[in-house]
Amino acid sequence: MKDSRKKKESLTGKLIGRFDIPEDVILDVPRITMMDNTEARIENYETVLEYDGETICIACKKKCITFCGKGLTIAVITDDEVTVQGNICAVQFG
């Protein structure tokens, strides 16, 4: 099962490399758009794990993205996009 999944991923990787297709379209990786350090838009997220004024932890398919800073708020949340606003000091991928 694991082998077949690995094979599939490598095949997708090859396709991406061959046809120059953006990765976020084929693979379900999160797409983060940041505007200075005051706003971050995360597409392709799964759930909000933790939310307070200093830490916002957002779970994506493979990774967990943590925004650290001061006065952090979730400006908008929809089923495929979440916008974080505030003074963002660090972004961690775990």
Partner 1 sequence: MLRLISYIRGYLTVSVSGTFCERFLNVCAAKGILLWNIVRISDRSLRCCLSVAAFRKLPPISYRTGVRVHILCRHGLPFVIKQYKKRKVLVFGACFAMAIFVVANQFVWDIEIRGNETVRTKDILEALSEEGLYIGARKSRIDQQTLKNRMLIKMPSLAWLWADKQGSKVIVDVRERIPVPALYDAGDYCNVVAKKDGVVHSMIVKNGVPTVKEGDTVLKGTVLVTGKIPSELKPEIRYVRAEAQVFARVWYEKTERFSRLSEERTETGKQKRRVHITAFGKTFPQKTKESPFPECDVETKRHKLSFFGKETGIVVETAVYREVEVSGKRHTAETVAAEGVKALKKQMDAECSPTAELIAVSDGFREVDEETVEVTVRAEYLEDIAVQVK
| Interface positions with partner 1 (CB under 8 A) | 47-53, 73-79, 82
> CB of 57: closest distance to partner 1 in angstroms?
9
For 7-61, the DSSP string reads HHHHHHHHHHHHHT--HHHHS---EEEEETTTEEEEES--EEEEE-SSEEEEE-S
Closer residue to partner 1 in complex, CB, 27/59: 59
Closer residue to partner 1 in complex, CB, 75/89: 75
> CB of 41: closest distance to partner 1 in angstroms?
13
